[in-house]
Amino acid sequence: MNPSNPPQAGEYGGDEVSAIVLDPGYSTTRAGFAGEDAPKSLIPTYYGKYNADGQEKLIYGDDIFVTPRPGLSIHNPIGKDGIVEDWDMAEKVWEYSFTSRLTGAKASNPLHNGLNDISNEELPTDMEVESDEKPLADSPLLMTEAGWNPVKAREKTIEIAMEKWGTPAFYLARNGVLAAFAAGKASALVVDIGASNISITPVHDGMILKRGVQHSPLGGDYISSQIRALFKKNSPQPITITPHYLISSKTAVEAGQPPQAKYKTFPADKAPDATYRALLEERTLSEFKECVVQVWPGPNKLSATGPTGVSNEEMARSSPGRPFEFPDGYNQLFGADRFRVVESLFDAKAAIPDPDSIFPAPTQAQTLPELIKASLGGVDVDIRPHLLNNVVVTGASSLLYGFTDRLNHELMQLFPGPRVRISAPGNTAERRFGSWIGGSILASLGTFHQMWISKKEYDEHGANIVEKRCK
Amino acid sequence: MSLASGVQVQDECITAFNEFRLSHGKTKFIIYKISDDKKSVVVDEVGHDQDYEAFRSKLEAAKNANGSPMPRFAVYDVEYDLGSGEGKRSKIIFISWVPSETPTLWSMIYASTREPLKSALNVSTSLHADDKSDIEWKHVLNEASGGKAGK
């Protein structure tokens, strides 16, 4: 390389901007630099709250899992329907997601950060200090949102980005559109299986068809509640999940035998809140979903009888079970039960009843096949076959073993005429971070600059500009 | 304005398309691609070969420097016979070809540029293909004729 020649555009990135992509979900928040393959920052959307020295303290990110502090309670700023409930805290959690790993913390006021302390109490009165450095002053920000995010929430989002974070340019993209695009499709029926919601988003020519957007709460957290219901009724004995922080030692036991573990106990004034325990139990449940749970692959419901006269339940029982060991050492083989905990995503009658669950018993209208029917019912009849031919599956909970096979069977039964074709990335990262990756690619394109809403435009037109520009 | 890549449609794309429309069947198709710098849609090839298979194999052969399959956009002049003496018709169909093994980066760029190109050319009939079976003649004929031919 000749140092007297200026670098070519390609060598220093040309007009590519270092935009930040923020994909906030109910369970996790994903953030990273545009142009990268995966989000650098993946944090829980949950945050912790406790009192120390008479002051309320807040903790974010993976720190919430680590220490069972006295009185530590866990909260989530996002409501069960996937829409922000607590804006102040959502702002803080989101801000943490990019300041912790990407942009660095806000510069603190140089008058108070200790570096400029003057020993003889002389105050630097004639010095103007820029005290309010904003965390995104140099980075355009692309955020994603659910298809049913209301206008008020969209306006509030741009307001935070522009006024609190100081971003010079902003865009708000529907995650259904991003998932469709990432699969190469401008028109698709996007089936997103998330933690708090499952949703169906029809996308046509790059726009969501609002009347066809459907969602219900039968997501990953609901599946967790079904697993808990199963554990309560489990034989040979009901299973209690005891998280690692409550166990001081354990010894190996035979399958199905009571656990042999020494437990840690916390006196009432030192114990963390019940929500902390629930959060840690959720980790064991996630592992259980990944290792044990399987979707009955179809054809037909788990409760139906196969063509040979053998019931599907019986078939499920005869397939080999899967072992699972709990943190306290209890372990057993799970047989047909591992199919039952997810069956109600397709067949509401199959739900395992649990009067203590925070989830009411599901209705048939909340199941996937009915949501898809309702979604297609809300769109023009001419494009329905086209949408069915381009079904895109995304969301981490869609990684449940056997999920796409079953979905395929259900769709073929529901719509025998048109050709049904499902596209689901085999790559786990693309399924978990589909909309983040889509946003990352778009925001990294030099040509995308014409889509951004600039600070100037925001100042001129107000928050409502997001409705006009980000359709 | 829907979400789009912002990739520019070069004037040559529209000029070529207008000539194509006025050529009365002499020009059979135009294949468009997105330039390697991801900045604009350009004309890849204007074809006169009357054999549909020649067009199809050109789409299928599109690859990048690493040998990964690459997407393309195309317009094709489909001629079809309505049968029972109603005579011949012709219709221009817009095709987006994004084979399923395309790297995600290019899937994303092509998908988010499809609508701006389609509306710039102002073609109403369109087809999306990601599998070789989607660009078989029978399927294309059926789409272009609105189901009246190619059954």
Question: Is there a domain that residue A456 lies in?
Answer: yes
pLDDT score at A16: 46
Average pLDDT over residues A210-234: 95
A423 and A446 within one domain: no
Please say if the pLDDT value at position A9 is more than 80: no
pLDDT score at A111: 61
- Which residue range forms the structural domain that includes residue A462? 1-47+79-102+133-178+433-471
Using CB atoms, pick whichever of B39, B71, B100 lies closest to residue A446.
Answer: B39
Residue with tokens 């199941």: A367
Closest-CA residue to B150 (of B94, B72, B89): B89
Please say if the pLDDT value at position A100 is more than 60: yes
Q: Which of A447, A448, A453 should be substituted to probe chain B, the one whose Cβ sees the most B Cβ atoms within 10 Å?
A: A447
Task: Read off the DSSP letter of residue A356.
Answer: T
Average pLDDT over residues A125-153: 82
Domains of chain B, CATH where assigned: 8-144 (3.40.20.10)
pLDDT score at A119: 58
Could you read off the pLDDT of A247-305 as tens digits, one per residue?
Answer: 999 999 999 999 999 999 999 889 999 999 999 999 999 999 999 999 999 888 998 88
Burial-class residue A139 by CB neighbours within 10 Å (0-12, 13-18, 19+): buried
A438 and A351 within one domain: no
pLDDT score at A177: 96
pLDDT score at A419: 87
Computed over every residue of chain A, the mean pLDDT equals: 90
A1 and A36 within one domain: yes
CB–CB of A22/A29 below 8 Å? yes
A158 and A302 within one domain: no
Question: Is there a domain that residue A120 lies in?
Answer: no
Using CB atoms, pick whichever of A386, A421, A451 lies closest to residue B4.
Answer: A451
Size of interface A-B (CB pairs under 8 A): 93
Question: Is there a domain that residue A161 lies in?
Answer: yes
φ/ψ of A421, rounded to 5, equals -135, 130
> Taking CB atoms and an 8 Å limit, are B71 and A184 in contact across chains?
yes
The better pLDDT of the pair B14, A130 is held by B14
> Taking CB atoms and an 8 Å limit, are B2 and A441 in contact across chains?
no
pLDDT score at A103: 80
For the beta sheet containing B8-9, the strands, ordered from the edge strand earlier in sequence to the opposite edge, are: B8-9, B40-47, B29-34, B72-81, B88-97, B126-129
A408 and A318 within one domain: yes
pLDDT score at A1: 43
pLDDT score at A147: 93
> Which pair of structure tokens corresponds to residue A230?
């199963």
Question: Is there a domain that residue A269 lies in?
Answer: yes
Residue with tokens 């509306």: B119
A149 and A232 within one domain: no
pLDDT score at B84: 75
pLDDT score at A241: 95
Task: Look at chain A and report how many structural domains it folds into.
Answer: 2
Question: Is there a domain that residue A54 lies in?
Answer: no
Percentage of chain A lying above the pLDDT 90 cut: 77
> Taking CB atoms and an 8 Å limit, are A205 and B3 in contact across chains?
no
A423 and A437 within one domain: no
d(CA A235, CA A255): 12
d(CA A351, CA B61): 50
d(CA B94, CA B111): 14
Q: Which residues of A touch B2 (CB under 8 A)?
A: 177, 205-207, 471
Question: Is there a domain that residue A71 lies in?
Answer: no
Average pLDDT over residues A402-423: 92
Angle, helices A175-182/B104-121, rounded to nearest 10 degrees:
100
A346 and A295 within one domain: yes
pLDDT score at A18: 83
Torsion angle in degrees (nearest 10) through CA of A232, A233, A239, A241: -30
Question: Is there a domain that residue A61 lies in?
Answer: no
φ/ψ of B43, rounded to 5, equals -80, 125
A468 and A441 within one domain: yes
CATH number of the domain bearing residue A3: 3.30.420.40
A345 and A238 within one domain: yes
ipTM for the whole predicted complex goes beyond 0.85? yes
A441 and A426 within one domain: no
